[in-house]
Amino acid sequence: MAKNESIEISDYERQRQENIAQRDKLLKQLAFDASSAGLGPGQKPKPAKPAKPAPKKKTAVRRVKEEIVPRRTSSRIAGIEADSEVAKRKAEDEYVAAQEAARVKRQRISGPLDLSEVQVAGKGWDKNANFLVDVVSRGANPNVRTFGDEEVKETTDKELRALREKMSGLELYNEYEPNRIKITPERIYSLGFHPVAEKPLVFAGDKLGNLGLFDASQSSSSTAVQPETIKKEDQDEEEAEADDPDPNITSFHLHTRTISSFQFSPHNPSHLYTSSYDSSLRLLDLTKSSSEEIYAPDDPSRDEPLSGVEMDPRSPHILYFSRLDGHIGRTDTRAPNTVDLFPLSEKKIGGFSLHPSCPHFIATASLDRTMRVWDLRNLSGKAGAPQVPALCGEHESRLSVSHAAFNSAGQVATASYDDTIKVHSFEGMSGWSAGRDLTAKEMAPSAIIRHNNQTGRWVTM
């Protein structure tokens, strides 16, 4: 075909090109009209220079020390063929070594411990300059109020009104943010205050056997009233951390497994008794800065986890403890590793309590859904078999009972997984005869309080 020869265009193609030209013309006219009306895109104004923000204090980055673990070795580099006998023996040896390391890590530590040797976190422990010396030497629904000002005014009972007014005056601790108050390295299983009133001291035990100490009377520099000062913008992390240091918290590795419970001695405020799933009871002496074993099974390989510990309020040397296999034990600190065992339940005893003025009465809470009251003055059993105290009475709940606690008035409060807190009232227990048998009506709770007991929180009795 010649170059100058015109190409015939079909009617369809000619119509299509006309439509495209008409569309482009329409779009240009629309853009022109919008620009004339001030609606089209114009020259972008220059952004105003933002005001210089006030210097913010830089938060120091907390460096987490990583645990160094053994490296895995390559069988190929070592010249070991896959699926060979040598490779199988190597895998078996590594498995046995890992199992042995795990067993040693969980095995309890016997003998006395010095706090300076078992400290795992916090400021260096100084026996002569620790923050406990001056103390021990002196011897519902979250964010929803149960009652308000109107309920307090309408309360006619004087004692209840005074208690509500006192509770209404309490304020949240605001010296440090909660995420800065890490008392223990791992999850907390037991928590409590030191009994002295001069200083709020918080103790906590975690699932790996660490005991943490926190002095809540400390003041944070960020909340303290200070004169205004001009700070340099290039303040580095170390200076920022020095201006507002973390609270003074110290933790010690006393057990190799969970610290299930602890109790301060009513006779010596510097003595703290701890029970653990590593099957041992230990005494922490805060003045001597040492921890010694009070009780443990004779055979270190025996696994008898302890769930609670209580001290006889009348005798400074008698300790009671509960085990996960349903036993209650009694030991004398003057004769270590001597114990009387009472099989009181076929299932786990989660918590127990002694009557403050009549310690021969014991209340137990068990996984078998019962709360029982026992009398140690009346023991019975066949020759050669363990002695069992007299059962005064029991009350069964719909689900398991996690804890039971006596008060001085002879009442027992229980927390159960049926989402109730029950109060059982027993009057005149000091005058009861040995082994008194209570009726079902006497064991029935005098009050039942609805409470969500399955939120991961526990209620202190």
Torsions phi, psi of 21, nearest 5? Answer: -65, -40
Contact (CB, 8 A) for 245 and 60: no
- Spatial contact of 320 and 312, defined as CB atoms under 8 Å apart: yes
Contacts within 8 Å (CB) and 24+ apart, 110-117: 110/280, 110/293, 110/296, 110/300, 111/292, 111/293, 112/290, 112/291, 112/292, 112/293, 113/252, 113/254, 113/282, 113/290, 113/291, 113/292, 114/289, 114/290, 115/252, 115/289, 115/290, 115/291, 116/289
Long-range contacts of 424-428 (CB under 8 A, 24+ apart): 424/371, 424/395, 426/373
What tokens does 52 get? 């210089």
Contact 397, 370 (CB under 8 A): yes
Instruction: Give the whole-angstrom CA distance, residue 356 versus residue 438.
Output: 20
Mean pLDDT of 68-77: 60
DSSP annotation of 350: E
Summarised one tens digit per residue, pLDDT across range 250-282 is 889 999 999 999 999 888 888 999 999 999 999
pLDDT in tens, 308-322: 999 998 888 899 999
As a whole number of angstroms, the distance between CA 325 and CA 280 comes to 15
Backbone angles phi, psi at 164, to 5 degrees: -65, -40
Bridge partners of 191, per DSSP, are 204
For the chain, the 3-state helix, strand and coil shares in percent, each to the nearest 5, are: 20, 30, 50
Could you tell me which of 389, 399, 113 has the C-alpha nearest to residue 278? 113
| Residue-level pLDDT at 123 | 56
Residue 145: how many CB atoms within 10 A of its CB? 11
How much is the mean pLDDT over the chain?
78
pLDDT digits (tens, 9 = 90+) for 417-436: 888 999 999 988 888 998 88
The secondary element (H helix, E strand) that includes residue 91 is helix 85-106
Express each pLDDT in 451-461 by its tens digit: 887 765 544 44
Of the pLDDT bands very low, low, confident and very high (cuts 50, 70, 90), residue 7 is low
User: Counting Cβ atoms within 10 Å, is residue 75 exposed (0-12), middle (13-18) or buried (19+)?
Assistant: middle
Rounded to two decimals, what is the model's pTM?
Answer: 0.65
Is the pLDDT score of 219 beyond 50? yes
Burial level of 339, CB count in 10 A (0-12/13-18/19+)? middle
Counting Cβ atoms within 10 Å, is residue 266 exposed (0-12), middle (13-18) or buried (19+)? middle
Mean pLDDT (whole number) for 197-226:
81
Write out the DSSP string of 114-156: EHHHHEEEESPP-TTS-TTHHHHT----TT--S--HHHHHH--
Q: How many CA atoms lie within 13 A of 137 on its CB side?
A: 9
pLDDT tens for each residue of 274-306: 999 999 999 999 888 889 998 888 888 888 999
Nearest-Å Rg of the Cα atoms of the chain is 35
The pLDDT, as a whole number, for residue 275 is 93
pLDDT computed for residue 230 by the predictor: 43
* Bridge partners (DSSP) listed for residue 203: 192, 213
